[in-house]
A = this chain, B = another copy of it.
Amino acid sequence: MEFTVQQIADLLQGTIEGDNLSKVSTLAKIEEAGPGALAFLSNPKYEHFLYSTNASAVIVSDKLEVKKSVSAALIRVTDPYSSFSTLLQYYQTALIASKTGVEEPCFMGDGSQIGDNHYRGAFSYIGHNCKIGSNVRIFPQVYIGDNVQIGDNTTLFAGVKLYTNTVVGSNCTIHAGAVLGSDGFGFAPQPDGTYKAIPQIGNVVLEDDISVGANTTIDCATMGSTLIRKGTKIDNLVQVAHNVEVGRHTVIASQTGISGSTKIGNNCVIAGQVGIVGHISLADKTTVGAQSGVSKSVKETGTIIQGSPAFDYKQNLRAMTVFRKLPELQRDLDLLLKDKSTN
């Protein structure tokens, strides 16, 4: 995709200084931009880059006073950062939307429907009796089992796997290799020391506006649904076990694991590599620090915890500070004990 500086300026309602016919085809940071790139300058601290950049055009503030010669065309706007963000959004949306049509071979089972303006990549598989909305992008090698429902404007990147009966809402993005609906890890110990699988016949339900990261796994419920509510964002390599419920607008960072039947509230922030035991609940707006191990329910809204096992993060911080000094503490105590025994 190639645009003239004039086209960009029109889109952003900006004014041009320099060559309005100069062409840009990519977006870049001002310090890294080469010919053909469009950059922006928002933070005055980076102004010196403006005079050395190889960018073909730079979005700048309409208040900026240019102090040296600039090779790039300037597009002046009220808020350069916001204007640039708008362009980034256009760019990414256009990139996805440019994928359209059906690449052969791909597979769609009997009784399945898909809305208009969709993309089905080669080697993608849609099972039987699926209902898939409009503007859906199904990248190559995606697997969609039987009876799956997917809302409008959802994108499944390459190699996503949705087991039978999975439900995905609208405006969701699921990244490559993520697996939704694999069996919950339920095995009943038998008297002879073996294990018997407990059938897992539920499903996974994602509401709208959800993002799921690459190679993340979300297991189906034993019965009923493992449920991720509207607007929640899940990073890469996260594990969500059977019958978990995650509330709305919650953020879960990479490599975190949530055990079976646990309920996470709305607007929580779970950092990376956190482990959460099964059958507990976290109140709304709970924040859990990285690598924490959460072993108890959190009842109060807005609680911040840290540690393994996790407790109040300030207390944890203080305890960790003393932890580092434990050898000195031991030495002091030994001295006191020695004193006492010699008295």
A interface residue numbers (CB < 8 A to B): 27-29, 32, 85, 88-89, 91-92, 95, 103, 105, 107, 121-123, 125, 139-141, 143, 145, 157-159, 161, 163-164, 173, 175-177, 179, 182-183, 185, 187, 193-195, 197-201, 209, 211, 213-215, 217, 219, 223-224, 231, 233, 235-237, 239, 241, 249, 251, 253-255, 257, 259, 266-267, 272-273, 275, 277, 290-291, 293, 308-309, 311, 315, 318-327, 329-330, 332-333, 336-337, 339-340
Contacts and interface: CB of A to CB of B under 8 A. Distances in A.
A257 B257 contact: no
Which of A195, A199, A236, A325 lies at the interface centre, i.e. has the most chain B CB atoms within 10 A of its CB? Answer: A236
A239 B223 CA distance: 28
Nearest to A233: B187
Given A185-B213, A272-B257, A164 B95 contact: yes
Contacts of A339: 340
B29 A223 contact: yes
B254 A241 contact: yes
Contacts of A236: 179, 182, 185, 217, 219, 239
A182 B318 CA distance: 38
Which of A199, A209, A224 lies at the interface centre, i.e. has the most chain B CB atoms within 10 A of its CB? Answer: A199
A179 B176 contact: yes
A88 B336 CA distance: 62
Given A88-B199, A176-B179, A215 B213 contact: no
A323 B323 contact: yes
B293 A249 contact: no
What DSSP secondary structure best describes chain A's contact surface? loop
A277 to B, nearest CB: 7
A88 B201 contact: yes
Copies of this chain assembled into the complex: 3
Q: Which 9 A-B pairs have the closest CB atoms?
A: A322-B326, A88-B199, A143-B158, A182-B214, A92-B199, A179-B214, A161-B176, A217-B236, A125-B140
A283 to B, nearest CB: 15
Contacts of A259: 253-254, 272
Contacts of A324: 311, 315, 319
B199 A89 contact: yes
Contacts of A140: 107, 125, 143
A254 B185 contact: yes
Contact of A182 (B143, B175, B219, B293): B175
A219 B89 CA distance: 18
17 contacts: A88-B199, A91-B199, A92-B200, A105-B105, A121-B125, A145-B158, A176-B182, A177-B177, A179-B215, A182-B213, A182-B214, A195-B233, A239-B255, A255-B257, A259-B272, A290-B293, A319-B326
A327 B198 CA distance: 41
A273 to B, nearest CB: 5
A195 B121 CA distance: 29
A249 B195 contact: yes
A164 B157 CA distance: 11
